[in-house]
Amino acid sequence: MADARGGNGTGSCLGFFGRTLSANDSELHQEIPQLQSEPNSIQVKCLVRTRIPSEFGNATHSLLLYTNSSDTEEHLALVYGYGQIFSLTLEKIYPNETTRDRLVRGASVSPLVPSDITTEPPLARIHSCCFTGETLGSLRCDCREQLVQAMKLMSTENRGVILYLKQEGRGIGLKDKMRAYNLIDQGYDTHEANIELGHPADGRSYLIATAILRDLQIPSVRLLTNNPHKVESIVADGVIVSERVPMIPASWALGNISSSDRENASSEIQDRDGYLITKVKKMGHILDIPED
């Protein structure tokens, strides 16, 4: 028989496999605080959690899948240090729920003790999905590099959360993102291309992200971002940003790129640098552009 394990991967629960749990089951949970009322009207629910070993560092993170009351997408949270950080909606005990039911959806079957939870703000990254960069390896953007950088940092600390939102192309979707790429090839920049297609330069909302942070009981974060609008948006929705942690592209980290290096760079790298420079000059991102 396969080993059935609890939420943190330890502690066999075969002794109670199939037992129906009650809302006041003392063997499962000490009292877990209730989700506070939210400034926004969006409600989120974590449906399932699973363990994901990663090539980026030694830590294992938990992948949580969320539905919400605002759209039909399934958004994700990658949580490092589950137990210190946990989902209220996932850990809720439902009527007639068995231990097996909880195992299948990834809820804990051993006590979660709120007093053990550290109050230090964790690293957090609010990341919009990028099929072209993260799956196809496109060099038109730095999305994959930022995702990997966030995973490595959180793996080192063994604590943090990446909110992975279905917001392809800064919220315009894959089709219009591809159309925007074609406009960029005709001389537009990424800011102009979105506007030419009838979209805001960046029309993303972060209300779902802040709702997920509340479900994870994270009132304060150290936010990995170069985007001041992202900071302002989540602060306006009640999340405290104790620190903005910059995300510097590896090719820019040394600060200077010689003219000869820039001339010899592939067209793909020039595409990405043009994209980054536009985000700094036209969209207010906080990043030092390397000098020639």
- Cβ contacts of residue 15 below 8 Å, gap of 6+? none
State the Cα–Cα distance between residues 287 and 289, nearest whole angstrom.
6
Q: What is the dihedral of CA 264, 269, 272, 278, to 10 degrees?
A: 0
Q: Which residues pair with 244 in a beta bridge?
A: 223
Could you identify the residue written with the tokens 């330069």?
A: 201
Q: Answer whether 241's CB lies under 8 Å from 231's CB.
A: yes
The neighbouring-strand residues paired with 221 are 241
Nearest residue to 79 (alpha-carbon basis) of 50, 110, 107, 108: 50
Token output for 51 = 């363990």
DSSP 103: H
> Of all helices (H) and strands (E), which one includes residue 242?
strand 240-245
Catalytic residues: 202, 204
Name 53's bridge partners.
Answer: 60
Q: Which amino acid is present at 255?
A: G
Nearby residues of 153 by Cβ (< 8 Å), 6 or more positions away: 123, 160, 224, 245
Helix spans in the chain (H): 88-91, 99-105, 143-157, 168-171, 173-185, 190-196, 207-215, 228-236, 259-264, 267-283
